[in-house]
A and B are shown apart, each in its own frame.
Chain A
Amino acid sequence: EAGVTQSPTHLIKTRGQQATLRCSPISGHTSVYWYQQALGLGLQFLLWYDEGEERNRGNFPPRFSGRQFPNYSSELNVNALELEDSALYLCASSLLDQNTEAFFGQGTRLTVV
């Protein structure tokens, strides 16, 4: 069974540009989570989607946005990139059940220059 897949693996953008990151969850999982992990720091909760709807949002500015498609895959968009947006962006998926595990993709390393 395929795990969570993220693309691209690496992304280099210039300050002010937009970045789009993609995530495909494990088959059957409807919940998708996005996290930002800056170098040497912990996982900061960005967004949680389930059944196509945004269920919760972390303390990030509106230029961080996303969506979930009918097949439960998800996109994270970051507009007006800033140097401090450089980080590892991680996607995880889970069933919509609090007593089930969440599994991560390999992440997208975004570098803003």
Chain B
Amino acid sequence: DSGVTQTPKHLITATGQRVTLRCSPRSGDLSVYWYQQSLDQGLQFLIQYYNGEERAKGNILERFSAQQFPDLHSELNLSSLELGDSALYFCASSLSPSAGAGTEAFFGQGTRLTVV
């Protein structure tokens, strides 16, 4: 158990809908990263928050947004969903703003999103 909690584990929704994925980081970790994993794209970095503020953006679509709350949990909002958004969404956390030695990134179990 990495200590990173993601809910829900599975989500099935229709095209055009909006969903919210939730992540609770490990105790003491201030940084949260969101990744998307699909068969053809691998693990793609979406966005990072540190202590409530956005720190880095990757290949995140405009239809997607995220935030980190004062209690440090984070939510990833996906809207106007398309079939191609079906993927595993992972959250990771680390102590510092940068994942590195002494501040390793630990991943949650992921949310499997299926858009039908």
Q: Do A and B come from one complex?
A: no
B positions within 8 Å CB-CB of A: none
A positions within 8 Å CB-CB of B: none
